[in-house]
Structure 1
Amino acid sequence: MTEISAAPDEPIAAERPGRRRKIVVRVLVGIVVAIFAVWLLLYITKGRFLRHPFERVVGSLTDREVRVGGDFQLYFAPFAIRLVADRASVSNPGWTTRPHLFSADHVEARIAPLSLLFGRRRLYSLDLVNGAVDLEWNAAHDRNSWTFGDKKGGKPLEFPTIDVATVAGTTIRYRDPRMKLLADLRFETIRSNAARIGQSVDFTGTGMVRATPFTLTGALLSPDRTVARGQNKLTLRAVAAHNVIDVAGTLPSVADIEGVPLAVAARGRNIDELLNIIGVVVPETRRYRLTASLVKRGTDYRFTGMKGRFGDSDIAGSFTVQQIEPRIHIDATLATRQLDIVDVAPFIGYNPDLVAAKGVVAAARATGAAPARMLPDARLRVEAMRQFDADVRYTVGTVRSRKVPISNVALTTRLKNGVLQLSPLTFAMARGNVAADVTIDASKRPTHTRYDIRLAPTPMSRLLAGFGVAEAGTTGMIKGRLQLEGDGETIHESLSAANGRIALTMPHGTFWTRNVQLAELDVGTFVQKMFQGRLKKPVEINCGVIAFTVRRGVAAADPILIDTTKNVIVGRGGFSFGTEAMDLAFRADGKKFSVFSGQSPVGLKGYFAEPRIDVISPELLNRAGAGLGLALLATPVAGILAFVDVGDAEAAACGPVLRGAPAAAQRTTEGERRDDVGTGKTDKKSGKKKNFLGIF
């Protein structure tokens, strides 16, 4: 039984491998036939029926709405996937200002099938007509329109490798609400072959930065690497508000400048016009040219290695622009080796070009000042000062000036919530030091300004050398302080309403004889010394004070008192910051007998910009009349008696003088109150005299 049943099974076992092979072959043939059928169906129909599935699948993968409004084709031709889509679009997220991230009138591409599954996506060819791309950041700057898949954390757009391409009429729109930047770019027609585009891809554009329009021209100098997601060498030129800005660098991708050093060069007629583009206000300058390296990190734009010139001055340093809502913050460290005095003019409101061409008075008139005035009426840009904060440290080696030598300037500026502090401001002037603290509070209406300027002991010889005083024989020192407060939107307005005190003191020293004698109008002594050949013999100053009390912009002498070995010089009158008019009279009374002396005031009148000295005063004319009368009634010798100075001037006590005390505190060397320097004021509460210069 066993042998009989075993024989029929052997053919069955032998047939199983053959049957399996047939099944496999039939399956493979079926698959091939099915693929061919699908290919044939797609080829015949051009895959037009796949439009809606294509929109759904691609929309699901990108988490965006995908639409094809015109002709659609998706088929194998013969082995590459051929895609044709007319009026195609990919939507933007709902928070953007434009509906589409991408749209095009015509897209035609041949795609490598396996690249969709493995490795980098590859296009054998691409033909794009009138493509438009919209790139936007949200207000918080934590999302952008070109990152897909919000639910999965988002994936940035990756560019495929393209062998042959023709891209015509492409535009890109970029919007950054934090920077208040909007740019529209248009690219020239791009043609590539064998995955190479050529030398460059040129583009032009227009835009707006904080309400300032600009134009752009630029190029991608390495477009082949750009297509392959390699290095992207970019050059760009922007023209805005009379400024030209050039940017060059190598980007890791087309839309990525994070942490990438960019070479920046800017030039124009005024740095204020440049920085005003981003809402930052600085004093006006003459023409400038700057270069720097720019690196963006997060919300910070840092410029390092900056160097250049403005007007006839150099500048170098670094600064950072921080986008801290609701205001911009500027942090800068700047240095100038040599600063031209004309380039300082904008810091107090003058136009430097006008100062250089026509002088200070013409520049003041251009700000609205009346004729013959020097103080500018340029209004503070209060609203702009409230839009940004700043911390700036600025140093200057030397200041080119024909009158007063200035060097070693150091300025710290802080702007916070509309309050501008220039504190401290220090500089060396004629071997003396000046320290100042100025606060401009633009948060108040009207703007309130406090001035506190202090002059450390400074040699008169160098300080006044630029005004015709010879250094030889002049050894006196000057120190002083100006302390004023006033309200107003211009320097002129704030000083016109200011209250405070100004005082300059002179300790013991010498002064060139000719200048002193002319000031004293002691004609006899002057002529005598001139004939004796001792014109430059110094006259000793025991002590002196020139002080003013300022009330609502009007400065009254309080006191003017200079004690020399020969004379006591006193002054009365004052000046006005409002009208800039001066009306001062100086009188020298001799301590010694003089046969022929004017003994009458020398007037200083006119305006700050046009001062004049009145040597022939009414008192002198009266003396001349009296002398003439005596000469006619008696003898010619009697006429001289009208000009005799008996030398009864009382010497000044130098203690109150050197303290800068007001007139009421001044005394003679005998301790008596002086009645020739005005009434002055005292502190009624304490009864103590004010030691205005006690800080030195």
Structure 2
Amino acid sequence: MANRRAWGWGLGVGLPLAALVLFLALFRWDWLIPVIEAQAAAKLGRPVTLQHLHVKLGRTITVTAEGLRVGNPPGFADDPPLARLPRAEVDVALAPLLRGNVVIPSVTLDRPQVELVGRPDGTTNYAFDAPGPPGEGADGGGPQVGALRIRDGKVHAAIAGLKADFNVDLKTEEPPGEEPALLADADGTYAAQPISAAFRGGAVLNLRDAERPWPVDLQLSNGPTRVRLKGTVKDPVKLAGADLRLEVETPDMARLSALTGVPIPATPPFRATGRLDYAAGRFRFTDVEGRVGNSDIAGAYTVSTGARTDFTADLHSKRVDLADLGGVIGGTPGRAGTPGQTAEQRREIARAAASPRLIPTTPINIPRLQAADIHVRYKANSIRGKGIPFDGLEMALDIVDGVIRLHPGSFKVGRGEISADATLTPQENGMLRAKAEIELRRVDISRLMQAAGAGGAGSLGGVGSIETTGRSLSEMLGNGNGSLTVVSVGGNISALLADLSGLQFGRALLSALGIPERTQIECLIGDFGLRQGALSVRTLLLDTESHVVSGSGLAGLGKEVLNLRLRTDSKHFSIGSLPTSIGITGSFKSPEIAPDLGEIGARAGAAAGLGVLFAPLALLPTIQLGVGENSQCERLARVGQGSQGGGAAPAQR
């Protein structure tokens, strides 16, 4: 009976023990491969295969995987796969693991190969449903990685949307007596331009050793664009504690659009340096100092890293050349002789100078941004430009859900300003729909005249509006509807009609009108209507001490043609003092002035004195000034109302 119980106990305990010993003797870690493959495939959304798995137990657990292959998502060819890894070795510390922490002293990747594919329809084989980098302030979750070793890594990227096809060689080095380093070299094309890059990641013994910040040194060339990034990052895994210096140099900021994902208009040569870091889900480029053509620029930029890109810039300039901003409105930016210009930029400037057109006809390339919002604040303390009367510029620009809002844009003119609130909505056919309100607030006539090489005093006020559609600034003006009214607030002039935009006919115009070089302004009123690009002169009146100038006619903004008439009447009749009428025709860039001899003869017997004012003044009651007080203009308006009741000849529009 005792033997029978002993035998039973031996079968009950010894058999399972023997089975366990036999299982351990025959166990292969490869038996876990199907489970590992299924879990990895479920998380990655791609087929995952593994040939062999080895585990060496001890105080440090060493896991070795061989023949790892991550396939492509559905719809992509199976070969080449997204990734191949012939051999990977991972060391895991046992003691922290028992406490629930994952500490990985070292990772070794042997000959990894990655194939990144982006097709013309926008689909890619590398898009994962994974959160972005947590950034500063995130908790310390996740494995702690120590040494990372990569042997002969290869990455090939062919992304149609970026016009990119380049290769990256990736490896780590541990030179005797030197810090280990992560090295990467890239070569190929990006944005249809040759690209080459060299990266040195510095020490990789512990990517999370806050006492030893991780050095970064990147040098990149994309066509003529040069980028240098150098500094340290305390925690590269979380992109936390970055202290990097970024240097950018390019002949045209539009070339940066492909690198940043933000549409940028054409500019003259650009260079800038600043501090780059990452925090709260945003890359920040701060303490920026640089130049665009002949203009300085400083400030800060931030770019979000979420599903929807958010770009913010707060910029200022001590001195800006308006020619450098020409690309914003579709013009040719910059001036001839600006350092760093390419041969093509010099040719473009020469073509623009030789063109008979003054208003840019190049389509303004503003795509409807659905995946990014842009917010820009800009201030310029002083402005340089040929015949430019502006003293400063302030602008607040927002692009949200593809709609562009300028609120406001303001040019300083002496103590006054010209401001505009505008909304531009890109259309699916490449057109822009625009609506703008314009206001002149006490714009200094002296500053306007100074820009024309003349003198004067007083100020102007005014209001205007425009609604239009078009692809270029020329097309939008040619399709525009709106109005503009300007009124003087006293002053005097020495060359009021001298050209303010570079045209050299101002003094000839004064001479043809017979106005003295210096005379007191009593009143200046201009009221203009815009219909389908035709700017009509509804009322134009310049009342001086001795003369009155009135005007009529049209200016075609789309075709840039002039057909205007100006007439000068003397307030004090004398022998030989006859009304003078001249015509202004031709183009905006090359206007022509000629006297209307037939009209002079017809008006040889015109009445003298203040009565010559009645015809233009008859229109004044119809103008809603709304720009401040001008007692003289108001007095003339009352005279005009009285003239309508006194049988004055009706005004000819």
Alpha-carbon offset, residue 321 of structure 1: 1.4
88, 103, 110: which is aligned to 2:67?
Answer: 88
Alpha-carbon offset, residue 301 of structure 1: 2.0
1:628-667 matches, within 5 Å, as 647-650=608-611, 652=613, 657=620, 660=623
CA deviations on 1:612-638 (whole Å, 9 max, x unpaired) are 221464445x58xxxxxxxxxxxxxxx
CA deviations on 1:122-172 (whole Å, 9 max, x unpaired) are 78xx9975244799986443289xxxxxxxx995373459xxx9x642236
TM-score (norm. length: structure 1): 0.67
Q: Is the 8 A contact 1:279 1:384 kept in 2?
A: no
Q: Is the 8 A contact 1:572 1:584 kept in 2?
A: yes
Asked if 1:351 corresponds to 2:338, the answer is no
Which amino acid in structure 2 is aligned with residue 462 of structure 1?
R
Alpha carbons of structure 1 residues 591 and 190: separation in structure 2 relative to 1, 3 Å: closer
Counterpart CA distance in 2 for 1:513 and 1:238 is 54
**1:671 corresponds to:** 642
Alpha carbons of structure 1 residues 378 and 94: separation in structure 2 relative to 1, 3 Å: closer
Counterpart CA distance in 2 for 1:545 and 1:112 is 85
**1:438 corresponds to:** 422
SS in 1 for 2:356: coil
Which amino acid in structure 1 is aligned with residue 67 of structure 2?
A
Q: Is the 8 A contact 2:145 2:207 kept in 1?
A: no
Alpha carbons of structure 1 residues 601 and 578: separation in structure 2 relative to 1, 3 Å: same
Alpha carbons of structure 1 residues 547 and 132: separation in structure 2 relative to 1, 3 Å: same
Alpha carbons of structure 1 residues 89 and 376: separation in structure 2 relative to 1, 3 Å: same
Counterpart CA distance in 2 for 1:587 and 1:233 is 75
**1:400 corresponds to:** 384
Counterpart CA distance in 2 for 1:677 and 1:319 is 60
Alpha carbons of structure 1 residues 96 and 133: separation in structure 2 relative to 1, 3 Å: farther
Alpha carbons of structure 1 residues 433 and 655: separation in structure 2 relative to 1, 3 Å: farther
Asked if 1:428 corresponds to 2:392, the answer is no
Asked if 1:591 corresponds to 2:571, the answer is yes
**1:454 corresponds to:** 439
**2:16 corresponds to:** none
Q: Is the 8 A contact 1:328 1:389 kept in 2?
A: yes
Point out the structure with max Rg over C-alpha. 1
Q: CA RMSD in A?
A: 5.3
Q: Is the 8 A contact 1:542 1:563 kept in 2?
A: yes
Counterpart CA distance in 1 for 2:190 and 2:422 is 33
Counterpart CA distance in 2 for 1:121 and 1:459 is 71
422, 428, 451: which is aligned to 1:466?
Answer: 451
CA deviations on 1:56-111 (whole Å, 9 max, x unpaired) are 389769965997759x99999xx999999895327689899999897544679999
Counterpart CA distance in 1 for 2:385 and 2:239 is 44
**2:145 corresponds to:** 158
1:483-522 matches, within 5 Å, as 483-512=465-494
Q: Is the 8 A contact 1:418 1:443 kept in 2?
A: no
383, 395, 398: which is aligned to 2:367?
Answer: 383
SS in 1 for 2:318: strand
SS in 2 for 1:601: strand
SS in 2 for 1:260: strand
545, 553, 562: which is aligned to 1:573?
Answer: 553
Counterpart CA distance in 2 for 1:122 and 1:329 is 37
Alpha-carbon offset, residue 386 of structure 1: 4.2
579, 594, 597: which is aligned to 1:614?
Answer: 594
Counterpart CA distance in 2 for 1:56 and 1:612 is 90
Which amino acid in structure 1 is aligned with residue 318 of structure 2?
R
Q: Is the 8 A contact 1:522 1:598 kept in 2?
A: no
**1:3 corresponds to:** none
Alpha carbons of structure 1 residues 521 and 339: separation in structure 2 relative to 1, 3 Å: closer
1:219-618 matches, within 5 Å, as 219-224=200-205, 231-240=213-222, 242-252=224-234, 255-297=237-279, 299-325=281-307, 327-353=308-334, 371-443=355-427, 446-469=431-454, 471=455, 474-512=456-494, 538-597=518-577, 599-615=579-595, 617-618=597-598
Which amino acid in structure 1 is aligned with residue 579 of structure 2?
Q
Counterpart CA distance in 2 for 1:542 and 1:110 is 90
Which amino acid in structure 1 is aligned with residue 248 of structure 2?
A
Alpha-carbon offset, residue 575 of structure 1: 0.7
Q: Which moved more, 1:598-607 or 1:578-587?
A: 598-607
**1:20 corresponds to:** none
Which amino acid in structure 1 is aligned with residue 418 of structure 2?
V
Q: Is the 8 A contact 2:359 2:473 kept in 1?
A: yes
Q: Is the 8 A contact 1:160 1:228 kept in 2?
A: no
Counterpart CA distance in 1 for 2:405 and 2:379 is 16
Q: Which moved more, 1:512-521 or 1:233-242?
A: 512-521
Q: Is the 8 A contact 2:103 2:145 kept in 1?
A: no
Alpha-carbon offset, residue 554 of structure 1: 0.6
Counterpart CA distance in 1 for 2:508 and 2:236 is 77
Alpha-carbon offset, residue 670 of structure 1: 7.3
CA deviations on 1:434-483 (whole Å, 9 max, x unpaired) are 121122122576432123222122332321223242x2xx3343222332
Which amino acid in structure 1 is aligned with residue 404 of structure 2?
L
**2:633 corresponds to:** none
Gaps of 5+ in 1: 1-37, 39-46, 145-152, 527-534, 624-641, 681-696
Counterpart CA distance in 1 for 2:481 and 2:104 is 77
Which amino acid in structure 2 is aligned with residue 268 of structure 1?
T
Counterpart CA distance in 1 for 2:361 and 2:259 is 24
Number of equivalences:
577
Alpha carbons of structure 1 residues 84 and 515: separation in structure 2 relative to 1, 3 Å: closer
**1:202 corresponds to:** 183
Q: Is the 8 A contact 2:169 2:184 kept in 1?
A: yes
Which amino acid in structure 1 is aligned with residue 254 of structure 2?
D
Alpha carbons of structure 1 residues 260 and 373: separation in structure 2 relative to 1, 3 Å: same
Q: Is the 8 A contact 2:363 2:471 kept in 1?
A: yes
Taking every aligned residue pair, what percent have the same amino acid on both sides?
20
Q: Is the 8 A contact 1:134 1:172 kept in 2?
A: yes
SS in 2 for 1:647: coil
**2:32 corresponds to:** 56
SS in 2 for 1:406: coil
Gaps of 5+ in 2: 1-21, 42-47, 117-124, 134-139, 499-506, 626-635
Q: Is the 8 A contact 1:364 1:375 kept in 2?
A: no
Alpha carbons of structure 1 residues 103 and 364: separation in structure 2 relative to 1, 3 Å: closer
Counterpart CA distance in 2 for 1:331 and 1:227 is 30
Counterpart CA distance in 1 for 2:105 and 2:541 is 93
Counterpart CA distance in 2 for 1:109 and 1:511 is 84
Counterpart CA distance in 1 for 2:95 and 2:573 is 117
Counterpart CA distance in 1 for 2:276 and 2:83 is 30
Alpha carbons of structure 1 residues 59 and 460: separation in structure 2 relative to 1, 3 Å: same
Counterpart CA distance in 2 for 1:381 and 1:114 is 60
Q: Is the 8 A contact 1:652 1:667 kept in 2?
A: no
Q: Is the 8 A contact 1:566 1:591 kept in 2?
A: yes
SS in 2 for 1:595: coil
Q: Is the 8 A contact 2:458 2:491 kept in 1?
A: yes
Alpha-carbon offset, residue 424 of structure 1: 1.1
TM-score (norm. length: structure 2): 0.71
Which amino acid in structure 2 is aligned with residue 273 of structure 1?
R
